[in-house]
Structure 1
Amino acid sequence: MRPESEEALAGIVRAATGPLRVTGGGTRALGGPGPGAGPAEVLETGGLTGVVLYEPASLTLVAKAGTRLDTIEAVLAAERQRLAFEPPRMERLTGRASGPTGDPAGASTGTSTLGGVVAANAAGPRRIQAGAARDALLGVRFVDGRGQVIRNGGRVMKNVTGYDLVKLMAGSRGTLGVLTEVSFKLQPIPPAAATLILPDAGAGRAVAAMTAALGSPYDVTGAAYVPGTGTLIRVEGLEASVDYRAGRLAVDLAPLGVAVRESEPARVARLWRDIGEVAAFHDRPGAVWRVSCRPSEGAEVARRLGGEVVMDWGGGLVWALWPEGEDIRPRLAGLPGHATLVRGFGAPALPPEPEPVARLSRALKAQFDPRGLFAA
């Protein structure tokens, strides 16, 4: 089912008699229907496309949830603006990519959509400085499990009382309602950026370098480790400031390795897009796991896994390429955090929730989806 309007979508939900699986481009899909839920009918948001409002002067964007992420990025780039949280496009990693359709509204599946970014609370390397999708989200419109259209938030940041539905819907993965429209605060694209690349000396040295960089006063906007490439540290801003901060960081990090500086804009952008999209694991067989942990324990996660890993967020996000069919969670027992199966089979995609969190989740589900329509 692929409704072309919010009203049509609400009608579908009201008339539904069985479980529904909400999907945008299908590039961030995880999990499956709960036990006993039966097969779920797919409800696509790709018919809800287009920019509703864009005010560059006020750094505000409102768009329909099915609009392709690359369409939004092109619109913003024309005004030298961006989504600060740097949402990655995951189609190459998850193997759900599709070719271009020529549809300017962004209706095709297989490509990341704005609603999918919000539903997954996605964020790229800049999360360490700018936060995730929920931190830039101003407002949402969505259809709940009763088929009601609900609006929360607006076009400016403000405090709310009761449920903060803007924050609640970010990361809900389509289990509480179907997003139809989202609004974001934006960020100007800075005039300069530079990346320091330290030689690959292993995960432990990489975490030490990233920790030192993030603890510095130099406003680092990216800290990652890619085996074979090394440790990458990014700074952005005015050209003179970037030059000074990158120089100081290179001196401070010299005990951990001699850094090569990359300042050519297109190459810097490509480096960090590849990190956010985990390009090291593209087109390679095996399962892909996403481990969220304390940055200081990223090296320990890598040690316990012993396989190929990519680290982002200063060590707080570890991507692991792993043989199909094995659950890595027992290997990480005792470490705070959680592991999600992003691509592959043989284990539950999402980790079990602690019982206090599970109780809250059940209460929210009963409030927003009392008929249990939206497959978890």
Structure 2
Amino acid sequence: MTIIHDPLSEEAASRIVRAAVAAATPLEIRGGGTRTLWSGSTNRDILSSAALSGIVAYNPAEMTMTAKAGTPLGDISAALAERRQMLAFEPLDLRPALGTSGIPTIGGVFATNASGPRRYVAGAARDSLLGVRFVNGSGEIVKAGGRVMKNVTGLDLTKLLAGSRGALAFLTEVTFRLLPVPETSATIVVSGLNDAEAAAAMATAMSMSVEVSGAAHLPESVCGRFAGGRLPAGAATVLRLEGLAGSVSVRSEKLQAAMARFGAVSSLDVEATVQLWREIRDVHPYADGTARPLWRVSVAPTAGHQLVAALRLEAGIDAYYDWQGGLVWLRMEADPEADLLRRYVKALGGGHATLMRASAEAMAATPVLQPQAEAVAALSARIKDKFDPAGVFVGAFAGA
């Protein structure tokens, strides 16, 4: 029977890990349980950070915060909103798309490196992470930047743990930087472009000095499901501007003039902009209550539309693009088609294809994460051995 451990302190977590090592019992790390879709074998116990909750320190002047790993993301956002500050990387909420529940936690955000539309200009979650406290696989309590783990001197432990999905350590506390909330925002919409034309338009926008903070392309098949139907009919290429009202107005005029050569141009006000980019972030069109396979594919921005075009010739798919085309949210109509997808990803210069959702049978039969190259896998194994020599932590793809 699976036992769920909810330690109230680092010391309690340390004792649980030591006991698991002694009993050779694998531990699956879990935060708020928002991605429990991926829980596989029950031959393990669960070590949850949910009881480790609370903001430890908040310095608005320095725009930094320290919080315990199990602190609900909603509590973090509420505290920041009072000072008109925010997380730079727009952590996404996949519960609607995955059909899961649970409460997103700040530790889970960093453990999964959950990053939204602003990622390609503001950096990923790991780029905002300044420090961590954690319990390693030997049950030792470690603070990154203070106590140095044996044989890993010189490694950035903070960056290593971000995105490690519980495979290396049990996060107990995180310190991260913040940004001011923009005074206003607007979205420029270029209508009617095909995927290749949209890629060219987004590249042009990103080359301009107008500070675009979001660039996405919504093909006709999904466009009507965004922004409450306020986007023009047909495909929409959307470009977000943020900042002081006067600056946004001037930059908007400049960007609209440049985009006019690509197609019909319109704009969305701040209310519609906030809704649109939240829905782009949270994969709104595929929050359809089904288990149809959903992929998150990261490739070069110029390769995204080529990947989708190639796949459309061989499989039933639907897709839209974020990060200037470098992030493709891809829904298969039937089978995951993992081998086909990853073969095309490799042919187009490489990237990462992660299976986010599918039937239980398909999830069990498909490598969820992109297989690592031999050299990278060997390095990962050595790092894992230093953090978790007994192999007690099961690197579940669950647990955000």
Flag whether TM exceeds 0.5 (same fold). Answer: yes
1:197-212 equivalence runs, <5 A: 197-212=189-204
Identity of aligned residues (%): 45
SS in 1 for 2:261: helix
Q: Is the 8 A contact 2:63 2:179 kept in 1?
A: yes
| Matched residue, 2:75 | 71
Please say which of residues 322-331 and 295-304 is displaced more in the overlay.
Answer: 322-331
Q: How far has the Cα of 1:69 moved from its partner?
A: 1.1
2:324 aligns with one of 314, 330, 345 = 314
In structure 2, do the counterparts of structure 1 residues 38 and 367 end up closer, same or farther at CA, with 3 Å as the change threshold? farther
2:269 aligns with one of 263, 268, 287 = 263
Letter in 2 for 1:139: G
Please say which of residues 212-221 and 38-47 is displaced more in the overlay.
Answer: 38-47
1:7 aligns with one of 7, 11, 32 = 11
In structure 2, do the counterparts of structure 1 residues 3 and 330 end up closer, same or farther at CA, with 3 Å as the change threshold? same
| Matched residue, 2:180 | 188
Q: Does structure 1 residue 60 correspond to structure 2 residue 64?
A: yes
**In structure 2, distance between residues paired with 1:284 and 1:324:** 15
Q: Is the 8 A contact 2:192 2:264 kept in 1?
A: no
**In structure 1, distance between residues paired with 2:107 and 2:70:** 6
| Matched residue, 2:231 | none
Q: Does structure 1 residue 19 correspond to structure 2 residue 19?
A: no
Q: Does structure 1 residue 273 correspond to structure 2 residue 292?
A: no
2:358 aligns with one of 323, 344, 365 = 344
Q: Does structure 1 residue 243 correspond to structure 2 residue 235?
A: no
| Matched residue, 2:387 | 368
1:289-308 equivalence runs, <5 A: 289-306=295-312, 307-308=317-318
Q: How far has the Cα of 1:55 moved from its partner?
A: 1.0
Q: How far has the Cα of 1:327 moved from its partner?
A: 2.6
**In structure 2, distance between residues paired with 1:348 and 1:26:** 21
| Matched residue, 1:106 | none
**In structure 1, distance between residues paired with 2:380 and 2:42:** 21
**In structure 2, distance between residues paired with 1:301 and 1:226:** 15
| Matched residue, 1:92 | 96
In structure 2, do the counterparts of structure 1 residues 359 and 281 end up closer, same or farther at CA, with 3 Å as the change threshold? same
Greater relative CO, 1 or 2 (CA 8 Å, sep 6+): 2
Q: How far has the Cα of 1:201 moved from its partner?
A: 2.4
SS in 2 for 1:57: coil
Q: TM-score, normalised by structure 1?
A: 0.90
Q: How many equivalent residue pairs?
A: 355
**In structure 2, distance between residues paired with 1:206 and 1:26:** 37
**In structure 1, distance between residues paired with 2:15 and 2:282:** 36
Q: How far has the Cα of 1:79 moved from its partner?
A: 0.6
In structure 2, do the counterparts of structure 1 residues 152 and 239 end up closer, same or farther at CA, with 3 Å as the change threshold? same
Taking only aligned residues, the RMSD between alpha carbons, in angstroms, comes to: 1.8
Structure 2 gaps of 5+ residues are: 147-151, 224-235, 396-400
| Matched residue, 2:230 | none
